[in-house]
Structure 1
């Protein structure tokens, strides 16, 4: 009886918890984004951009937004570090892929890294949010231009959204995160991960 009541209470009052990967090649602005997410969605003031250093390994950020608990995993984007990405794929509900929209010379590298991640079986059906970052920098391409270059429809059929942002000043971030949370709440992948979690609890 207790377990039934607890289950009902948990269903009615607990917030959904989602694990979100922040991926992208080096210098795209991933950690700056993570710190800005902390500033926007929590009482904790994130690090200012001038104190952020390149990520070697993993940074974690926990925030609450849109009646959900979000755990962001920010992974290093240097070529030699991208091999560790797949260690986190299996438990991720969604992907945020950050692109430096002002650095045209590295678009091919970004596209290649994105394609490789999306082909991995452990990221099947994970919603994809692409942030066209550094809109505060002259020469940054629009979301539409980046979408055309990445040719997302040819890569994958999963739910995706490309949003122009500035991780430096926070422009556009809220709209992107709101879309991502709504997608995660109704995605097949989230349901699959929830069932997998329930099985582990029972065992």
Structure 2
């Protein structure tokens, strides 16, 4: 039924949105930043404090800067320490490389506090001092401040022809006697980088599995 005097309104065509590439690009960037920040807040970058020790000339400083810079640097015996941050797999490893000369080994204990992971570097070619390395390692592991630290052993200098393999180093260091300690041994060559990131993978998994 049509009422007299009623005005008939004709439907209008829909308004077409105008495409603006710059606005779309800005919106996309904003949304990307929001999502990225949200993801970062949910996941977060984890941090792990690592103490790297071992006898002098084991290759600690070479390992540190191979991980940090990806290249071999000329090193001199470390008197004191080097500290660098190594970013790997969303984990920020703060690595303290402490000198290994016998006169400064008593200073190692000053770096024990808050250490989550211990990297012990062994010169696999130095058969004469492997027992000395074992004594220093066991002395450290007896310290209360390191009771919860996981242990990664780098059996370094595997490129040398007379180097002991990882199994032999494991036996020489007495690692199988460590019943209440998470430990892992990795054969490495600091100059080529072989084995270094496999070791970091293990450390990363240990950190991830910690409650």
Normalising by structure 1, what TM-score?
0.81
Is the counterpart of residue 178 in structure 1 residue 201 in structure 2? Answer: yes
Is the counterpart of residue 72 in structure 1 residue 102 in structure 2? Answer: no
User: In structure 1, which of residues 152, 163, 166 is the aligned counterpart of residue 175 of structure 2?
Assistant: 152
Gaps of 5+ in 2: 1-37
CA drift of 1:14 comes to 2.3
Inter-partner Cα distance in structure 2 for 1:160 and 1:32: 22
Deviating above 3 A after TM superposition, structure 1's stretches of 4 or more consecutive aligned residues are 8-11
User: In structure 2, which of residues 118, 126, 129 is the aligned counterpart of residue 95 of structure 1?
Assistant: 118
User: In structure 1, which of residues 43, 63, 75 is the aligned counterpart of residue 86 of structure 2?
Assistant: 63
* Alpha-carbon spacing, 1:156–1:110, altered in 2? closer, same or farther (3 Å): farther
* 1:46-83 Cα shifts (integer Å, max 9, x gaps): 5x34x211101010111110111111000000111111
Q: Does the CA contact (< 8 Å) of 1:127 and 1:184 recur in 2?
A: no
* 1:81-136 Cα shifts (integer Å, max 9, x gaps): 11111111111110000000011001011101100110000001211000000011
Q: Does the CA contact (< 8 Å) of 1:128 and 1:159 recur in 2?
A: yes
Is the counterpart of residue 21 in structure 1 residue 54 in structure 2? Answer: no
Higher relative contact order (CA 8 A, sep 6+): 1
Inter-partner Cα distance in structure 1 for 2:139 and 2:68: 28
Inter-partner Cα distance in structure 1 for 2:198 and 2:43: 25
Q: Does the CA contact (< 8 Å) of 2:62 and 2:191 recur in 1?
A: yes
Matched residue, 2:42: 12
Gaps of 5+ in 1: 1-7, 41-45, 192-203
- Secondary structure (helix, strand or coil) at the match of 1:113 reads helix
Inter-partner Cα distance in structure 2 for 1:126 and 1:100: 22
Is the counterpart of residue 104 in structure 1 residue 134 in structure 2? Answer: no
User: In structure 2, which of residues 188, 194, 201 is the aligned counterpart of residue 165 of structure 1?
Assistant: 188
- Secondary structure (helix, strand or coil) at the match of 1:26 reads coil
Between the two proteins, the alignment pairs up a number of residues equal to 174
Inter-partner Cα distance in structure 1 for 2:151 and 2:41: 26
Inter-partner Cα distance in structure 1 for 2:42 and 2:120: 32
- Secondary structure (helix, strand or coil) at the match of 2:186 reads strand
* 1:24-54 Cα shifts (integer Å, max 9, x gaps): 01010000110111134xxxxx5x34x2111
